[in-house]
Structure formats: structure tokens, C-alpha cells
Amino acid sequence: MKRMLGLLMVVGLVIGVGCGDDDSSPTSSQQDTYREAILGTWKWDGSLHWTFNADGTVAVHYGDDVEETKNWSIDGSTLTITNLEDGTIDGYPHVIISISSTQFVYIYKFDPSDGGATIEEEVTLTR
């Protein structure tokens, strides 16, 4: 009986140690990759769209001359842009599909002005 109890304790110890937290989880690694890759200026349909800065700010471009500065953050694969003044979320958070050195693909969600159902579109930005 003591032998069986000892064996169960050893098995429990091995399982407990083997299932510990891993600080380099894929989500954390992917999130870090997104945070680095997103930095810089992105264009949509040939026009300036966003310029992400390392300090957590983003310049939102409205045409060639007009821009507004906001904050940005990434949690997992979700990009959130917030207003500087009050911290409210600017629209819906964006779900990142992929980011490379030349292409940024995400899901853009919005509510149509006619009051219809929320629309989701895949958007591709380039450098």
C-alpha cells in the first residue's frame, strides 16, 4: 500500500511539473510579432491610412493632409484603437489575420448608417 501511495505521489509530481505555465506561449509570441510588425506607415488603396508608432500612438490619416492621433494596443490578435481624449474605443476592435513586412490584413467591423446588422469586411493594407 505504501508503495502504491508513493508511486501515485511521484506520478502526480511529474504531471504537475510538466503542466506548469510556459511564458513563451504561441499567443504571447504572436502578439509580440504583431506589435513589432505593425510599426510604420500603412496604405489602403494607395492612400495613407495609418502610421503606428512605438510609443503606442497611431496617426489616422484622412486624405493626404489631415490626420488625427489616437492610441493603439494589441491583445492576442486584436488591435484596439482608442481616442486620446477619453480613452473610448474608436469603432470596433480589429481582428488581425496576418501582418508581414509588406502586408497587413485584418477584419473591419462597422454598423451601417441604415441601422442594419453589423458588417464585417476583410481589409488589406500595404506599405
* Residue at 58: amino acid letter: V
Q: Which three cell numbers stand for residue 31?
A: 502578439
Per residue in 93-121, pLDDT (tens digit) is 999 999 999 999 999 999 988 999 999 99
Q: Is residue 35 part of a domain?
A: yes
CATH number reported for the structural domain that contains residue 72 in this entry = 2.40.128
Per residue in 69-86, pLDDT (tens digit) is 999 999 999 999 999 999
Residue with cell 511539473: 17
Tell me how many degrees the CA angle 104-109-115 measures, rounded to the nearest 5.
155
- Domain tally for the chain? 1
Domain that holds residue 32: 26-126
Q: What pTM was computed for the model? A: 0.74
